[in-house]
Each structure stands twice: as C-alpha cells, then as structure tokens.
C-alpha cells in the first residue's frame, strides 16, 4: 500500500501527516500505521502520526496517534503544523480558523505568506484543574498543586492538570539534573493517572523564562511538547513562580515557545512549524 505523507516538526517534535481530505484512508489502519511509519529503522521515523481530516464542527479536523499506536487527544506542536499545512495547501481560506481535536475545538492564527507560514498562535482554551478532570485518582476533587507524590522510593511534589492532555509537572533546581528517563517511564504509567500522563520537568529561570523537558505518554522523550510546555506555565502560575498574564519564553530541547496564561483564562501558545519531507511510504501491512 502506498501512503502519501508529509513530515513536519514543531521545534523538533516531529510527526508524519496524512491528508485525509485529499486522499481516502481506512480509519482502521491508523493505529498500526503509526507504529510502523514511526519506526526509525524500518519506517520513516517520527514521534507519531497525525491525520488531517474533514470536520463537521470546525474548518479541519486532526487525529493524533502516538508511536505506540495509541490515540492522543491533542498536540500543541501538531496543531501548529496542521495549521501550517492546512493554510499552505488551501484547505482553508482565512489565516484564522478552527481545528477539531479529541480534546475539543481550538482556534489558530497563522503568520506569513500563503506559501510559507512561519509562526502559528494556538488558543488552547482554559486548563482543567480539578483532579477528576485530569483525570487523577485521589481522596478528593481539589486542585493538585504541589501535592506529595511518592514514586520509585522517592518523594516529589506534583502539580497536575489537563490542557489538551493530562500533564504532571515537577519543578527542579536544574533541568540537566531532572530524572527524565528514570521517572518519565514510571510516572506516565502510574495507576493514579488512569489515562496515562505527560511527565514534565521545569526549571524556572525568571518571571518570564523557564526550561522544560518532557516524557510524552505513548511516545517517550521528545524534543518538545506544546501542550506540556503550556501546562508547565499554568503550573508555574499556580505555584506562585510567575504571574498570570505574563508572556513566558519556554526553552525546550528543540527550541523555544512563547506561552501566556491570559487573564481571560485561555492559554496562548506561539511558535514555529516546519515541513521537512514529502514522499510516499510503501507499507506492507501483512509484515506489520
């Protein structure tokens, strides 16, 4: 089977994109295809698969499949790349439009020429802060802010919230010392998070700047996670490190994002999106 694709990345967080508006695909293939096409040794290599599809409630739709085949709810870097693809390929007419995800409908604005979108702003909406909304098991339904969290014979303080995806945020003194690999794989599968969780580590540098590293559920360590970085800014506000309404530059392994938790309670994320490869993946489904 020949699968036409485009590979894109948002500050290093790279996905294979399928245009299901122009091409026809069987929905049943996406989970296995995500695993096969993401394999760097036998496929194209990526953090997962994103399908751009028609929508009855927005201008375009977007489905995210992690590299382990599981389906995600949203992806901040994926939203920017989807916006770039949709605008440059004339799937939408305006530079401000809406994208449907499993986590809801978001509004995006692209900047640049029709043939070359350079930056995209995404309105991620309002974060969900109560325990049941994340979801996270616990004794009550209060906000999870600097809560004692026992894991791997260690005691941490976790701040958890839902912003496109479930996110668990841990603050560290130095980002280079964050136990990303040691704890990421454990916390993401912790039974206290029934839907699994993105695991982020944050070093606050100032009221306007922070470092962030992430283990994404279903994909592992990635160069960047837009919803995770945005959740980290919310967590920093909740813990008193920064003020609400402040523009924050978040440094990730793959580059920088500008994120603001505004006074209207919406979280705004601005960053780049890049196209790297276009081609055809020759997929042998029987060998999968």
- Residues with catalytic annotation? 75, 225
d(CA 161, CA 126): 11
Label the pairing between strands 248-252 and 255-261: antiparallel
Question: Following DSSP, what letter does each residue of 60-93 receive, concatenated?
Answer: EEEEEEETTS-EES--HHHHHHHHHHHHHTTS-S
- Range list of H helices, 159-255: 180-187, 226-238
What does the alpha-carbon distance between residue 228 and residue 123 come to, in Å, rounded to a whole number? 14
User: Whole-angstrom Cα distance, residue 193 to residue 215?
Assistant: 14
DSSP 8-class letter at 26? -
Report cis status (omega within 30 of 0) of the bond before 113. Answer: no
CA dist., res. 261 & res. 258, Å (int): 11
Across the strands, what pairs with 249? 209, 258
CA dist 58 → 73, 91, 113 (Å)? 16, 12, 23
């Amino acid at each position: 089977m020949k699968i036409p694709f485009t590979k894109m990345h948002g500050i290093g967080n790279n996905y294979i994109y399928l245009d299901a508006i122009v091409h026809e695909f069987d929905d049943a293939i996406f989970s296995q295809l995500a695993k096969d096409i993401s394999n760097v040794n036998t496929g194209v290599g990526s953090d997962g698969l994103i399908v751009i599809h028609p929508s009855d409630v927005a201008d375009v739709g977007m489905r995210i499949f992690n590299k382990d085949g599981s389906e995600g709810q949203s992806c901040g870097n994926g939203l920017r790349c989807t916006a770039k693809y949709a605008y440059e390929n004339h799937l939408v007419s305006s530079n401000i439009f809406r994208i449907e995800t499993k986590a809801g409908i978001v509004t995006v604005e692209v900047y640049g020429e029709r043939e070359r979108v350079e930056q995209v702003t995404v309105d991620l909406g309002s974060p969900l802060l109560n325990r049941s909304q994340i979801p996270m098991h616990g004794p009550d339904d209060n906000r999870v802010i600097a809560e004692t969290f026992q894991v791997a014979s260690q005691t941490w303080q976790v701040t958890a919230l839902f912003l496109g995806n479930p996110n668990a945020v841990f603050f560290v003194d130095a980002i280079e010392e964050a136990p990303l690999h040691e704890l990421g794989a454990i916390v993401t599968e912790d039974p206290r998070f029934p839907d699994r969780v993105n695991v982020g580590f944050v070093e606050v540098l100032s009221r306007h700047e922070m470092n962030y590293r992430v283990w994404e559920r279903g994909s592992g360590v990635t160069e960047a996670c837009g919803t995770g970085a945005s959740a980290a800014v919310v967590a920093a506000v909740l813990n008193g490190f920064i003020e609400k309404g402040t523009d924050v530059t978040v440094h990730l392994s793959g580059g920088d994002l500008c994120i603001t938790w505004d006074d209207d309670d919406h979280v705004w994320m601005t960053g780049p999106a890049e196209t790297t490869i276009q081609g055809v993946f020759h997929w042998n489904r029987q060998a999968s």
